[in-house]
Amino acid sequence: GSIEHDEVFVPKPKSEIEWYYKQYDRFASHYDPYSPIYNARERLQIYISDVGVIVTICALYHSALAKGLAWLICIYVLPLLILNGIIVFITYLHHTHTSLPHYDSSEWDWLRGALATVDRDYGVLNKVFHNITDTHVAHHLFSTMPHYHAVEATEAMKPILGEYYQFDGTPVYKAMWREAKECLYVERGEEIKGVFWYKNKL
């Protein structure tokens, strides 16, 4: 829920949306240790990550030579794309909803940030995904709790959290379409200046 310190699914203020504002003064790449998206203390980590990417590409290349490109696509590429697509989809919907606030450093604290997520109902897929879909609030509050206690913990904490517990039972395909249309950027709230809310009026 932190506008300043989160690393993924961080909503931008309207003034910083790409078609309004150029964020960096030069090309930004996740593979360039000197990219403007990184600071000096992160450079070594990017070098290490780049080496890992190169080693992985070499291993995949040799696997394709040994087993064939079709084998590599079926065994590695397609499962990777499907898994990552599912993870991004689920994570996006957990952290994107018009009822979820985001905070700058003047208002953010751990509890507020942990509660800035929403549980959703994926039907039978809740069990397939070990209930991370419908118990994500509990996961934020108790991140080391085993997943097999998440449903029980969620039911126990609902009456304690009351209005601070967020759940949206909208079918996920409809929710994805709605959030993509309604959650384009954030703007400061009128009552508390350090709290931001999703907006969509361009």
The DSSP code sequence of 139-185 is: HHH-TTS-GGGHHHHHHHHHHHHGGG--EE-S-HHHHHHHHHHH-SE
- For residue 179, give both structure tokens: 């959030």
Residue 63 has pLDDT above 80, yes or no: yes
- In this predicted structure, the answer to whether residue 67 has a pLDDT above a threshold of 60 is yes
pTM comes to 0.78
73-96 burial, b at 16+ Cβ within 10 Å, e below that, comes to eeeeeeeeeeeeeeeeebebbbbb
From the CB of residue 163, how many other CB atoms can be counted at a distance below 10 Å?
A: 5
Predicted local distance difference test score (pLDDT) of residue 20 = 42
State pLDDT tens for residues 155-182: 999 999 999 999 999 999 999 999 999 9
Judge whether 172 and 122 are in contact, CB under 8 Å: yes
Query: How would residue 23 be classed by pLDDT, with cut points 50, 70 and 90?
Result: low
